[in-house]
Structures are given as structure tokens and as C-alpha cells.
Structure 1
Amino acid sequence: MSAVWTHFKICDDDRSKAECKLCTTKVSRGGKESTSFNTSNLIKHLRTHHNPEYTEFAKANAKPQQPTLTQVLEKREKMSRENPRVVKITEALTHFIALDDQPLSVVENVGFRQLLSTLEPRYEIPSRPYITDVMVPKVFDEVKKHVRNLVNEVSALSFTTDIWTSSVCPMSLLSLTAQWIDEEFVRHQVTLHAKSFRGSHTSQTIAGAFDSMLQTWDIPKTSVHVVLRDNARNMIKAMSDAELPSLPCTAHTLQLVVHEGILSQRSVADAVAVGRKIVGHFKHSALANSRLEDIQLEINQPAKRLLQDVQTRWNSTFYMIQSLIEQKRPLGIFVSEHGLPDTLTAHQWILLEKVLSVLGPFKELTRKVSSSDAMAADVIPAVTVLHRFLTRETNEDHGIKAMKGTLAAAVRKRFADVEENPLYSIATLLDPRYKNLFFSNTTIAANAKEMLKLELLRLPGEADKQEDDDLNEPPSRKPRSDQPTSSLDSIFDEIASASVGRAAVGSNVQLDTYLGEAAISREDKPLQYWMVNKVRFPTRRPDTFQHLALVLTVKGCSAQCHTL
């Protein structure tokens, strides 16, 4: 039906005419017979008497014009590199390569080129050298400028670093990652360097590399809150030579504890070596692995591969032992039918099961302190809870008391001075989940409190401040809705419950008020707590607690001390 009928309707008393809805004029439809009806008169009436409506009608019925030859050729012609749309697509392509770790050769892949050609036929895909030599440096400069502005606006930064060997080429890499808290108590993290590190890894060379990296970003050493590094002697001395405060990676320290406490014992080491040999057999033999899967399916077990460990990562050894114990029955059948280069004795199976039960809490803590939101404040509570677990006797300790005792001694040795370190102590006090509840005794807790008071006095304007602030009532403690999920969780809750009903005493009203309140749940966010409660602890300097809360940004437990 023609669009002109929007403005007309057929007359009820005479179907040969149509009435205009705009002026009620009756217009002939072209004759008396239905075969002669048309809309010419209606359109003519609309054009003569109602020009705006006719214009609207004409636009709605406009026929598409045939494109000219020039227009057809323009659609087939590639857009110039300076075209705004081309610039935008090329930038998005570069971001795609950088953000998703795509190889630069992706621009030469047939399927990828077909995809872009379908999405925009007029876009000419740039060559790999153009992406490498022009676009990547351009994006790098833009990101570097943005990151430089961010870090230069921060008064204190925490860093993580590590030296490791690339798995794809024979070269060593040195990383440097920065973390900080903004005014909204949101933690930020950015990788500043992952550069080739040639030559001997002496402390002098490492210290020189750090000086160079900090100078590259115009970061003064006075802004370096702390550097998280591994336990290697050259790295420890390098931080001392560079005059940078540093802390050891907790995950690395736990690695040393486990190796000294259990994995270095002759009987355990022998059992683990046999297990490693068994896993290696299936890893290097597709036929043996296929036969093991058939046995698993025959006894209604899910087909799972045995996990190979990495000797420098104790938790990978834990997962290897766990996979062996899970497949104990299929392995027994496999040995009886096909044989293995080595087998575990009954005594070794029992020994590995005991090792697994003792190392369970270590695995749990390693996972927690290696998470992306781990903080320096988590270290002292983790050590306290772990030591209490190892020294507490239970009915399930039969046959593993000696192991637990050895591990407890290794924990005491490796973490002997953790509570005396001001960075760890102050971080723990300032974490509302822990406060002064997780120190080994009241004397150490009191010493940590004095460290925090001295830190407060060092801040500008705090030494002369009067303790006459009008404090609000402390909020009621948020009930914990989640039940403990492990033995370590129950110990955490047991220690934290000691905060209920504690009175605030002492000369520093704000600090004692804070410490006197019940600890928040471990599932809550400590930085969010400070964001909400900073107005409850007024100081002459508004960002005092924000300044002190920077100690919470120390990512005390990255598994490899670097982020890539």
C-alpha cells in the first residue's frame, strides 16, 4: 500500500473518492470502476495543498539512485594510512597484539587477514615491520608517559623484583613491578621493567641495574617504601649496596622451610625420587600413559595424568605426591601387567601419605600468600598460625609428630626475626583483620605498638598534636557468616576472637581506640576499612593513616617476586 494513504481514507458513501485527513477534501481516485483506481490525484492534492506532508511522503518513497562509476571505484579503493578510521583500526590492532600477547606475525596469518578484509575491505593491513618499528614504539611511549605521570604523583612506592631465565631463549631477565595506594585506598600495580640482564649476577651489577631502572622513571630512592626480593645472597647484598629497604619473599622462605624440614630427609627424598621417576616414565611414554588411562576407566576412575614436579617449587612436589596417591590403585594394576622402571614400597607409600597430610597447611598458606591481593600484613599471622598448628598435638598426629617437630624448628629458624621487622610489625597492626592479636607474646605486641607510635611521631605535624579528638563510637563487629574451611581457618578465628571486649588503654587515644575494637572478618578488605574509617581517626595531617597504610601494599608473597 502506498504511503500516501497515511493522509487519506476511502469515503464510506462513495468508494471512488478518498477524503483528505488534513482538510477533509474529497478527491477522485481516477474513475468509477475499481480497475481504474490510482493514487495520482491523491499525490497531486498533497503536493498542491499540503507541501510539508508531501515532502515527507516524497522522502519516504525516494528510489535509490544508481551509484556512479566514481563512487563504485572509491568503495573498492584502499583507504589511505592517514584516514582517521585507518588510524583507529591500526591502533586497535596494535593493542590487540600487546594486550593479548599475540605474536607480531599475526598480521601475516591468512585467516586473520581474511577476517579484517571481511570487516573492512578498504583497510590495508600494515606489514609486520610497520607494527614492529612504528606502532609498538608509539604505543609504548604513550603507556610509558601515562605510567610516569602515575608514579610521579605517588609519595611512596613498593616494589617486587626477581631474576629468572626465559623458557624460550637462553637469556636472563630482571623484573621490576611497582605497587601503590591512591587517595581512594585502591591498590595499583604496574610492571616497569622486564629487561635482559646480561653478565654475572653479582650484587654490584644488580645494584647498578636498580639505580638505572629507578632513574629511568625519575623515582627517587626516598620514595621507595620497600623492595620485595628472593632469599639469594647476591640479591640481599644488592639491596643493601643500593641502600634500598627490602624484604624476602614469603613464598620463597616457605620453600626453604619445607626443603629443610621434610624434603631434605633421606627417607622422604628417596620416596620422592622414586615417585618422580614413575611420573617421568608416563610423561615420556605415550603408550604407557594410554595404558594407564585404560586401567583408570576400567576401575571407574576419571582419566587423570600424573603431575611432574619442579624441584625449586615445593608445592609442585606436593601436587605430584597427591597425584601419585590418587592413582595408587591404577598404578598397582599397571605394575602387575606391564612393570615400571622403579616402584614405591609399602613403607614409602605410607611415608608419602604422611608427608601429604603435614604439608597440607603449607600448601594452603603458600596459595594465600601468593595471591594477587596478598599483603605484608599477612606474614606474621601466617607464621603464628602455622607454628601453632605444628606444635599443637592432636589425635591425628600418630606417625607424623617427628615431621611436624622438624617443620616447626625450620619455621622458627627461617622466620626468627619477622616480628622484629618494623615493616611487618606495623603492617600487621594497621591491618584491621589482625591488629595486635597475632604476635607470639604481649611483649612483642607492645614493641610493635611502640614502633607504630614512633612512625606517627615522624610524620609532619604529629609530634605536637594534642590527644583531644572527638572520636565516634566504634562500629559493632561484623559477624562472620562463613564457617572455617580448614584447620588453619579455625586457628585464625581462635586467635582473632581474643579481640572481643578488649578495652582501649594508653596515651595515644586514636591508636588505642583502633586497637581496642574487634578485628574485622578475614574476608573483609583492609584497605576498604581504612577508606571508610579514615574520618574516625582525625589527625592534623589528613593523610596520616593513608601514609602509614602504604605498608600494606607490600606484596609479601608473590610466588616468583615478579608480575608479567
Structure 2
Amino acid sequence: MIACDYQPFSIVEDKGFKEFSKTLDPSYTLPSRKTLSQTLLPNMYGKLRAEIQEKIKRAPAVCLTTDCWTSVTTTSYKSVTCHYIQDFAMTSHLLDCFVLTDRQTSAHLASELRRVTTEWGVSDQIVACVTDNASNIVAALRDHLHWDHIPCFAHVLNLIVKAALREVQGTIQKIKAVVEYFHRSTVASDKLKATQQQMGQEQLRLKQDVATRWNSTFYMLQRFIEVKDPVISTLALINAPLSTLSTEDWGIVQETVDIIKPFEEVTVEVSAERNLSIHQPVQKLVDCLMAEMQKRFSKVEQIEKLADATCLDPRFKKHAFINNKAADDAVKRVTAAAAHNHPSHSEEEEGQDPAAAAIFWEDFDERVANTRASTSSEPTTPSTSAAAMIEMRAYLAEPLLPRTSDPLAWWKMCSPVFKTLCEVMRTRLCIVATSVPSERIFSKIGQIITDRRNRLSPFKVRELVFLNANLP
């Protein structure tokens, strides 16, 4: 209750909770606030930590993510999460969420990360660390720790779209002013609801964007279009002191939403219609998107461990590469790694089905339509030796797995055939695409550090967040 539901320790002293507990079981005596904080919670923390540490010891390789956050009390926290493959399913844990007491220099960050990984005994298992592109953390990984750094895809995408949206900033600022006006004015907000009702439309609130998240701007623009007619009518009725959106502005909004919608679905495809006649500011947005994607993604196939992971994904293999040399290099690296591995035993439990396809995948699906196996087909079992090169050739000869299938479930089924490749797979498919797992931890801290809990010590916050993130 304290860790899972973010309840304060003082709940055991609240009159209402005491009465509720007594009603359930008059003979039960609630533990004191001090007992909860100083005995029960630390004991649970220590027990769960030991259990997770034992699990991680058996992982052949782990991928880390890390990020920083500043709380409402201006305390800086750093989270570190760990990801690995267990029983052919991705497993994740929060390792630590601690206070940064010194300047966030690359040396200090490296020292703290080294401490965490040493305490957990995973220093020799780390294959990569996924973070944003902040210079201090990149330098910490590259210059001090010598770990492979994988740029967070979500962060890169955020930078790309935010840069492009500056090309239509004039129209966006007009919309933000309207949205803020309706959020500030109860009269305007009530009038908008009444207008929506009169028009037979659902009563939808306008959404405000957040400076740090480009997708919040997308949601704001998308909602603004959905309530276009009621907004226009309401603004005319209340004679609000706002800049009027022209016909061109509304066109820009619609085109912008159409173009950046695929990015919301985690794609790099700007628009399926390549020959549209669009407004000049939106054309500049498209040009900026293309330039930013070229700048930030042009060398992504040269990130070796990402390329290896792509090669070892039975849904993609070499077909996901644009650069044939990068694909061939990945095959050579994986083959060389497989030559040094021993066969693995079959394991248990399949992973979960991936999410449904997004717009991004349409082009890829069309290109590989004839190379995919049906969901009911069985992989061909090679009758050759287990030599790494032959095994790799046999693996590449297999039909592609349908993209919505679970690659780890495929590897579970085929591990007796591709024994050495399976061992390499465990050290590559554990790499996650973003540092979002670390960022999610901070939303939990935000719920823990509240007005009722603003005096919690950093170590107590550390215990609570760890339990909340790792308890089943």
C-alpha cells in the first residue's frame, strides 16, 4: 500500500484509516509509522533487491537505460534500469534511483553509474546503455566507462519534430493563445461546451502543449481541428481579444497534423502523399523534417550493436537495411560472435505479442511481402553442421517472420537448431530502443514527493521507488 499506491506513512495514524482497519479486523493492531519506515519497508526492500540480483546474475547480457530529473523540491535524481532476456522474454528492473549530490559532470555521472553497476554485479554483462544525447552523459559513457552508447530513439525523434515545428511557429502561437484563453476563462470554457452541445458534438476540452514534448503540440493541434467549428463560433460570440486564425492558418494546422501524425506513431515517414500542393510554411516544415532525419539518422546503421540486433531479429534480418555493406558487416560480426559461443538449452515461457503496425511499417511490409512466412508455418530445420557460418546462412535462408509476431517466441522454438546464434541473440535483442523506462520512474517519484511527503529523505524515496517499480 505504501509503495504500490503511494500512500504516506502517516496513513496508519489517520483516524479514518484506523476505523476502516478496525472494521475489517478488530483484533489487528496497525504498525506504527516508525515501524513502517524503519523496519518493514527496509526489510522488504532488502529482500526484493536480493531476489532481483540473483535473477540478473544469470543474464548473459544486460542493457541499461539512465536519465536525470529534478523534483519539486529541486532535488536531482538519476534512475538506472536494467533489461535482459530471461526464458525468451524481455525482463526489466529498476536498479537504482538516487540523488545526485554533486555537479552533473561526465566524471561524476560515470562514478555514480560505476557504483550502481558494481553494487549489482553487472559490470561485465553490459552490452549497451541507452540515454539521451546530453553531452555529459555521452562523455561519461564514452570517455570514462567505455560502454557502447545507444541514442534514445524517442529523444532523437523529439529533437527532429521540435526543430521542424519552428517553421510554423506563428500559427502554433496563435493556437496556444486561444487554448490558454479557454483554460483561463470559465465563461469562455462554459460557452464552448454549450456551443458544442448545440452543434450536436461531443464536449471536448482543448489541450495545452508542454514545452518538452513535441507530441503534446500534436495533440493540441489535433484537438483544435476536432473542435474547429465550435471554437470559431464561440470566439465570435464572446468577442475574445485574440488574433483571428485566417483560412491559411487553418490550412497550415491541418497539413501540419497530417504530416507529423506518423511521428506520433513512432515513424520516420512524413507523408504518404508526395505530390500534394501545400502551404509554403508547411513545405518548409517538411524540408526541415527531412533535413533533421538525414542529419540524425543517416549513420544509424553504423551503430554496430543496433545493426546486430536488427540482423538477429527474424522479422527483419538484412531486409531492414538500406546500406548493403552495413547489413553484410552485421552478418560478419554476428557470425564471428557465434563462433565463440556454446550451445544453449531450450528455455520456457513466450513473450507477449508486439503492438499493432503503425504507418511507418507500410513501406517495409510491401517490400518484404514475398519473403514473410505465414504465422502457422514452421521454420526449416537445417540438416547441416552447427558451424557458425553455416548456421548463419541457414538462418538468413529462413522466411521472414510476420512483423507482428514475437521474435523471442521464434527464437525459443528455433533455439535447438540455431544454438550458437541464439546465444548471440541474447546479448543483442536485450537492447531497448529508448530511455523511456528510466523516464517513467520520475513520474512515480512525482507522485511520491508531494505536499504530504515533502520531507521524505532521499534514501527513503529510493526504497519506495525501487519497490514500486519492481514489485510484481
| Cα distance in structure 2, aligned partners of 1:247 and 1:147 | 25
What secondary structure does 1:357 align onto? helix
- For the structure 1 residues 446 and 555, does the alpha-carbon distance in structure 2 shift closer, same or farther, using more than 3 Å as the test? same
Q: Residue 213 of structure 1 is aligned with which of 116, 127, 138?
A: 116
CA separation in 2, counterparts of 1:296 and 1:324? 13
1:436 counterpart SS class = helix
2:309 is the alignment partner of 1:427 = yes
Distance 1:147 1:338, change over 3 A: same
Work out whether 1:347 is the aligned partner of 2:224. no
**After the TM superposition, which residues 87-486 of structure 1 pair with which residues of structure 2 at under 5 Å, given as runs?**
96-166=1-71, 168-182=72-86, 184-220=87-123, 222-240=124-142, 241-260=144-163, 262-265=164-167, 268-343=168-243, 344-365=245-266, 386=268, 389-390=269-270, 394-396=274-276, 398-399=278-279, 402-457=284-339, 459-460=340-341
- The residue type paired with residue 238 of structure 1 is A
Q: Which amino acid aligns with 2:407?
A: P
TM-score (norm 2): 0.82
Q: Distance in 1 between matches of 2:191 and 2:16?
A: 38
Quick one: which of 521, 530, 546 aligns to 2:423? 546
Q: Percent identity?
A: 28
Q: Do 2:308 and 2:333's aligned partners in 1 also have CA atoms closer than 8 Å?
A: yes
Letter in 1 for 2:81: T
Cα distance, 1:236 vs. partner?
0.6
What is the letter of the counterpart of residue 546 of structure 1? E
Contact 1:391 1:408 in 2 (8 A): no
Distance in 1, matches of 2:336 and 2:439, equals 32
Structure with larger RCO (C-alpha < 8 A, sep 6+): 2
Judge conservation of contact 1:160–1:178 (CA < 8 Å) in 2. Answer: yes
- Is the 2:259–2:271 Cα contact (8 Å) retained in structure 1? no
Q: Does the Cα contact within 8 Å between 1:437 and 1:498 map onto a contact in 2?
A: no
Give the total of aligned pairs. Answer: 416
Q: What letter matches 1:153 in structure 2? A: R
**How far 1:324 moved relative to its partner?**
1.0
The 1-side partners of 2:277 and 2:427 are apart by 41
8 Å Cα contact 2:63-2:84 kept in structure 1: yes
TM-aligned CA deviation for residue 193 of structure 1 = 1.0
Q: How far does the alpha carbon of each residue in 1:431-484 deviate from its partner, in whole angstroms, 9 at most, with x for none?
A: 111111111133332222222223223x2469xxxxxxxxxxxxxxxxxxxxx9
Query: Secondary structure of 1:551's match?
Result: coil
TM score, norm. by length of structure 1: 0.69
Distance, in Å, in 2 between the alignment partners of 1:340 and 1:546 is: 65
1:219 to partner: Cα distance: 2.6
RMSD after superposition: 2.6
- Spell out, residue by residue over 1:120-149, the C-alpha distance to the aligned partner (whole angstroms, 9 max, x if none): 111111221221111111111111111221
| Structure 1 position 514, deviation (Å) | 1.2
Q: What amino acid maps onto 2:146 in structure 1?
A: E
Distance 1:177 1:560 in 2: 7
Report what 2:455 is aligned to: none
Offset of residue 395 of structure 1:
4.8
1:512-531 alignment to 2 at 5 Å? 512-531=393-412
Looking at structure 2, the residues matched to 512 and 314 of structure 1 have their Cα atoms a distance apart, in angstroms, of 43
- d(CA) in 1 for partners of 2:197 and 2:437? 37
| Bigger Rg, which one | 1
The change in CA–CA distance for 1:111 and 1:355 in structure 2 (over 3 A counts) is same
Q: Secondary structure at the match of 2:363?
A: helix
